[in-house]
Amino acid sequence: MRQEQFVARHQAEWQELELWLHHRARARGAPRPGAPATVPDGEIPARYRRLCQQLALARRRGYSAPLLERLQRLMQEGHAVLYRAPPPRWRMAAQFVAGGFPRLVRSQATVMWASLALFALPLVVAGLLVLWRPELAHNVMGPEQLAQLERMYDSGDPARALGRDSGTDWRMFGHYVMNNGSIGLRMFAGGLLAGVGTVFVLVFNGLAIGTAAGYLQAVGHGGPFWRFVCTHAALELTALVIAGGAGLRLGMALVAPGNRRRRDALVHAGRIGARLSFGVALMLVAAAFVEAFWSSIAWLPDWLRFGVAALLWAVVLGWLWRGGRGTEDADAT
């Protein structure tokens, strides 16, 4: 067979293999030009074996050096991808946290914005209404809850100005992990009720937080409250919004599965939600650590406390906005 016929017969397959290798390089953070790969991963080993056979055949027939170099390069790149040792689990987790998780959050932008609206709008509206008329707080919280809030954030009592009643830092760290984790779990699992459960938990928590903030500001205890929550809120509130988005994604799979069967759509959304939940869990643990060991320190000057809070908000939002950009978004859809 002449070289021209040989190239014409196998050219399309070589190009597809090249695109697949470029795609994997982008996924590893080494951008290369080219269209997204269309070859399923499961077909690559067979195609690689055929490439090796074609290279051996081209050498035996004495085809041109440029063709042999091209096939040799493809063979070496394919071998490096298919037979390299898998990265350590800690490295995979770190790569997911640094780039995969924010890319996945951005790929679910519609449900994330919906979750933010369902959480933030009730929070802002409730806070402003209760600030205007503090008696409205009794429609959301009972007298005992409001009295406890006043005690916890009473600036006249230094022992109660840390945003908590009692307990060591480690004990409160465990309490915050369990409390915030349970809220995040309810937001995600509520999606199984066609999203209604998630909507309820988002709106309820928005109302509760807004009511507490507005009431404490109205009765003169706003200073201790804002000093306590300003730093860990960046991680905690953002994580809850993402958990709500994962729950809404689950609900959408039940209500509007699209081209997939409802069961397949639910499984697909569940996989996305599980990966989102892993990132949310890490954020909530970090938030609990900040809340227990930083937010509760009474002697910190306000300029330092609010400065660190602003920095953490910038880091969290910048991470979700820019994290993983420049690499192929393999987590979308």
Q: What is the DSSP string of 246-306?
A: HHHHHHHHHH--TTS-HHHHHHHHHHHHHHHHHHHHHHHHHHHHHIIIIIT-TT--HHHHH
Q: Are residues 141 and 319 in contact, defined by beta-carbon separation less than 8 angstroms? A: no
C-alpha 202/C-alpha 45 separation (Å) is 46
**Residue 223, in any domain of the structure:** yes
pTM for this prediction: 0.75
One domain, residues 146 and 289: yes
Domain identity same for 107 and 28: no
Listed in sequence order, the residues at least 6 apart from 288 whose beta carbon sits closer than 8 Å to its beta carbon are: 173, 176, 177, 180, 232
- Name the domain boundary from 26, 61, 82: 82
- Residue 34 within any structural domain of the chain: yes
Listed residues 82, 115, 138: the one ending a domain: 82
Would you give the DSSP letter of residue 87? Answer: P
What pLDDT sits at residue 158?
54
Whether residue 203 lies inside any domain: the answer is yes
Same domain, 113 and 212: yes
Last residue of a domain, one of 57, 82, 107: 82
Tokens of 203: 């709106």
Same domain, 63 and 110: no
What pLDDT was estimated at residue 28? 55
Same domain assignment for residues 137 and 166: yes
Looking at the structure, tell me whether residues 137 and 23 fall in a common domain. Answer: no
72: left (phi > 0), else alpha (psi -120 to 50), else beta?
Answer: alpha
Residues 54, 125, single domain; the answer is no
Kindly state whether residues 27 and 150 are assigned to the same domain. Answer: no
Residue 11: is it exposed, middle or buried by C-beta count within 10 angstroms (0-12/13-18/19+)? exposed
pLDDT at 26: 62
Q: Where does residue 318 fall: left (phi above 0), alpha (psi -120 to 50 degrees), or beta otherwise?
A: alpha
User: Is 191 in the same domain as 114?
Assistant: yes
Q: Is 331 a member of any domain?
A: no
Verify that 311 and 191 share a domain, yes or no. yes
Mark whether 192 and 48 lie in a shared domain: no
Measuring CA to CA, how many Å separate 137 from each of 163, 184, 214?
A: 19, 24, 8
Residues 6+ apart with CB under 8 A from 57: 6
Chain centre to alpha carbon of residue 58: 48
> Is residue 231 within 8 Å of 224, Cβ to Cβ?
no
Residues 58 and 126 in one domain: no
User: Which pair of tokens denotes residue 128?
Assistant: 């402003």
Is 330 inside a domain boundary? no
Position 25 in a domain: yes
What total of structural domains would you count in the chain? 2
Q: Which of these, 176, 197, 231, lies nearest to 115 by C-alpha position?
A: 197
Residue 127 within a domain: yes
Say what angle helices 3-27 and 65-82 make with each other, to 10 degrees: 30
pLDDT score for 164: 59
CA dist 183 and 277 (Å) reads: 12
Q: Check residue 31 and report its DSSP letter.
A: -
Output the tens digit of pLDDT for each of the chain's 333 residues: 788 888 888 888 888 888 888 777 665 544 344 444 466 767 888 888 898 998 898 898 888 998 889 899 988 888 888 777 666 777 778 888 888 899 999 999 999 999 999 999 999 999 999 999 999 999 999 999 999 888 888 766 555 545 555 557 788 888 889 999 999 999 999 999 989 999 999 999 999 999 999 999 999 888 889 999 999 999 999 999 999 999 999 999 999 888 888 888 899 899 999 999 999 999 999 999 999 889 888 888 999 999 999 999 999 999 999 988 865 444 444
What the block records as the tokens of 70 is 């091209």
Residue 15: domain span: 3-82
Chain centroid to CA 64: how far?
A: 50
Structural domain includes residue 178: yes
